[in-house]
Chain A
Amino acid sequence: SAVISQKPSRDICQRGTSLTIQCQVDSQVTMMFWYRQQPGQSLTLIATANQGSEATYESGFVIDKFPISRPNLTFSTLTVSNMSPEDSSIYLCSVMTIQDTEAFFGQGTRLTVV
């Protein structure tokens, strides 16, 4: 298994500002993903964080709005830029082990934009 530390656990932010969410894993993992969960909905993949290169974004998500870094195999950040109330969601980091079978999730970051 993998233990994931995600920070912050929650935040309330002013519109127009940016928030950076950190994801730290206790072991080397090959795949890291960032998901968004809007209120009352299931999870939607934002992007796959690639080590040392640009993230791979899903349709509807762009780098300018959600820049992602992954400098090594155990750490990644997601920034939510120029926030609006529509960005209020839970953001979740997910990893897959070297064996690439089971997925694990962090505790999530509950973001409220006012």
Chain B
Amino acid sequence: KQEVTQIPAALSVPEGENLVLNCSFTDSAIYNLQWFRQDPGKGLTSLLLIQSSQREQTSGRLNASLDKSSGRSTLYIAASQPGDSATYLCAVHETSGSRLTFGEGTQLTVNP
């Protein structure tokens, strides 16, 4: 059974810092991996999708990497802003069209 773990559970940083969120999964036979953002009480916004054949994806200040063989992904946020404050969730698809298995999330607070 696939298990996804995210470290740290919570992170508080001053504005402007670069930061890294970690995600690990137990079964390396994944189809792809997605990073999401969730604001309190709201739905999920897809940030980055990494296919199993890819090593990284970038969108603006966000960069996600994938090391499938070791079962790890990282989300790098450059020059953090207070508006980045949210919960960040990592999730994996095991096959095409399958359900997502989610981590518990990292709650990020960026202080002005």
Task: Tell me, in angstroms, the Cα distance from A104 to B45 when the chains sit together.
Answer: 7
Task: Tell me, in angstroms, the Cα distance from A58 to B96 when the chains sit together.
Answer: 18
How many interface residues does B have (CB within 8 Å)?
Answer: 22
Which label, helix, strand, loop or mixed, suits the secondary structure of the A interface? strand
Residue of A nearest to B87 (CB): A42
A102–B34 contact, CB under 8 A?
Answer: yes
Chain A residues closer than 8 Å to B51, beta-carbon distance: 101
The interface-forming segment of A62-70, A75-83, A90-98 is A90-98
Name the interface size band of chain A.
20 to 34
A113 at the interface (CB under 8 A from B): no
A41–B104 contact, CB under 8 A?
Answer: yes
Q: Which one, A45, A92, A105, contacts B99 given CB within 8 A?
A: A45
Could you write out 11 A-B pairs with CB less than 8 Å apart? A42-B89, A94-B100, A96-B97, A101-B32, A105-B36, A105-B43, A105-B46, A107-B43, A108-B41, A108-B42, A110-B41
Beyond A45-B100, A103-B93, A107-B43, 17 extra complex contacts between A and B, CB < 8 Å? A31-B97, A33-B99, A33-B100, A42-B89, A42-B103, A90-B41, A92-B43, A100-B97, A101-B32, A101-B49, A101-B51, A102-B34, A105-B36, A105-B43, A105-B46, A108-B42, A110-B41
A positions within 8 Å CB-CB of B: 6, 30-31, 33, 41-43, 45, 48, 58, 90, 92, 94, 96, 100-108, 110
